[in-house]
Amino acid sequence: MTSPIWHPFTQHGLREPIPTVVRAEGAALYTADGRRVIDAISSWWVTTHGHREPRIMAAIADQAARMDQIIFAGWTHAPAEAVAAGLLRLMPDALTRVFFSDSGSTAVEVALKMALGYWLNRGEPRHRILVLDHGYHGDTIGTMSVGARGAFNRAYEPLLFDVATIPFPAAGAEQATLDALEAACRQAPAALIVEPLVCGAGGMLTYPARVLAAMRAICADHDVLFVADEVMTGWGRTGTLLACEQAGVVPDILCLSKGLTGGAVPLAVTMASEAIYQAHLSQDRARMFFHSSSYTANPIACAAAAANIAIWEDEPVPDRVADLSARQAVRAAALAGVRNVRTLGTIAAMDLGPDGADYLSALGPALLAFFRERDLLLRPLGNTVYVMPPYCITDTDLDAVYAAIGEAAVRFG
């Protein structure tokens, strides 16, 4: 009997095995056929502290005993207020407003709508969005429009809106990026959206903090809104709570999701500066912010996020992040037979096989199978292998991950 489920980013025609997971704990997934699989990519970048973090699980259970979903338009509840208050304590002071949604994609859609609303309500309509090449911001039509074009979205291309694409600040070509941004900013665009310090889905491509800081400064000089999509980079992933911190950058709009609940349940927020909120504030209902999704600020998800914030506030999470970052860096540096090793906080990435292979290169499925056979959850992006584990991963598990990558480098190198 085959399952009726149509899986995401899965070519069912290849009939690759789809393991059934029955339990998750820490950095491990346990399958129905009795295997223990090391989750080396944090279940697609969401799990920060570890699977089934006890305080987050307890908060979910406790909240489920009190209140399930309630409407959030014109109503509120304690878990959402706790998350908003916590975010104001943790995040940059200039971000004074918190808008809830339910995924990274919606957090970005909300950010784009806020930016356009800001300009329209100021009586100076602007709609052009500037984007960084190799960017990824989600899989909805709007977020695909601001992301890199390629095999992922060829079928939908006619529906994607026009953006101005700034070249990625590759090593040695940073000035070209800044010059292109400066030129594009003179056309009075609404906003620039970037993944700070690392383009994730684009291939774990890193760029220096000073370039991020320079991009932010150019936007500020030209009165162009700066949107930081920290959906992947937020919550310690790059070594600091936010990647923007490393560049001393405070965005006008900040998108958070994935690790917001420690990766336990779906939730997202878009934080905005007071100026953006004020532009929508009026006696005129036509100027309100027209966005909601059914599960906006779901109380159970908010309870999980509040627990995550409490963990960041009372446990040495930065030490755990620093420790994992160091443990990753030594292992990545010791790998033989891989190219272009880059590490950024808890993320380590390296390229295997021939230079220039793309996402759909034959190496991808071969690597996926290779790691699957070794009970490792690694999901290469084309020929880029990256390790992005939960912060609690042990040395033993990390050694097993790197031993397999070393083996893969020999096999496929």
Ligand X SMILES: *Cc1c(COP(=O)(O)O)cnc(C)c1O
Q: What is the DSSP string of 198-242?
A: EETTTTSEE--HHHHHHHHHHHHHTT-EEEEE-TTTTTTTTSSSS
Cβ-based nearer residue to ligand X, 147 or 189:
147
Cβ-based nearer residue to ligand X, 114 or 338:
114
Torsion region of 263: left, alpha or beta (phi above 0 gives left; psi -120 to 50 gives alpha): left
Cβ-based nearer residue to ligand X, 229 or 245:
229
- Name the strands in the sheet holding 36-39, side by side, starting at the edge strand that comes first in the sequence: 21-25, 28-31, 36-39, 376-377
Strand 36-39, strand 376-377: pairing:
parallel
Give residues with Cβ within 8 angstroms of 220, minimum separation 6.
226
- Interior angle at CA 156, CA 151 and CA 157, nearest 5: 80
Q: Is 247:239 a contact under the CB 8 Å cutoff?
A: no
Determine if 42 is a binding residue for ligand X (CB under 6 A). no
Q: Within 13 Å and on the Cβ side, how many CA atoms surround 161?
A: 13
Question: Of 234, 232, 257, 267, which is closest to residue 386 (Cα–Cα)?
Answer: 232
Q: How far apart are CA 259 and CA 311, in angstroms?
A: 12
Among 72, 136, 312, 402, binds ligand X (CB under 6 A): 136
Only one of the segments 17-25, 132-140, 150-158, 375-383 lies at the binding site for ligand X (rule: CB under 6 A); that segment is 132-140
Cβ-based nearer residue to ligand X, 195 or 397:
195
Determine if 174 is a binding residue for ligand X (CB under 6 A). no
Determine if 138 is a binding residue for ligand X (CB under 6 A). yes
Cβ-based nearer residue to ligand X, 255 or 335:
255
Q: Is 129:224 a contact under the CB 8 Å cutoff?
A: no
Only one of the segments 83-91, 229-237, 316-324, 365-373 lies at the binding site for ligand X (rule: CB under 6 A); that segment is 229-237
Q: Is 403:336 a contact under the CB 8 Å cutoff?
A: no
Q: How far apart are CA 371 and CA 368, in angstroms?
A: 5
Among 231, 276, 404, 408, binds ligand X (CB under 6 A): 231
User: Could you tell me the smallest distance in angstroms from the CB atom of residue 137 to ligand X?
Assistant: 5
Only one of the segments 126-134, 155-163, 165-173, 225-233 lies at the binding site for ligand X (rule: CB under 6 A); that segment is 225-233
Determine if 346 is a binding residue for ligand X (CB under 6 A). no
Q: How many residues touch ligand X (CB under 6 A)?
A: 13
What is the pattern of x (binds ligand X, CB under 6 A) and - over residues 240-279?
A: -----------------x----------------------
Determine if 200 is a binding residue for ligand X (CB under 6 A). yes
Q: How far apart are CA 88 and CA 94, in angstroms?
A: 9
Cβ-based nearer residue to ligand X, 31 or 153:
153
Q: Please, which of residues 62-121 interact with ligand X by CB under 6 A?
A: 103-105, 108
User: Could you tell me the smallest distance in angstroms from the CB atom of residue 367 to ligand X?
Assistant: 20
Determine if 229 is a binding residue for ligand X (CB under 6 A). yes
Q: What are phi and psi of 206, to 5 degrees?
A: -100, 155
Q: Please, which of residues 347-406 interact with ligand X by CB under 6 A?
A: none
Q: Which residues bind ligand X (CB under 6 A)?
A: 103-105, 108, 136-138, 195, 200, 229, 231-232, 257
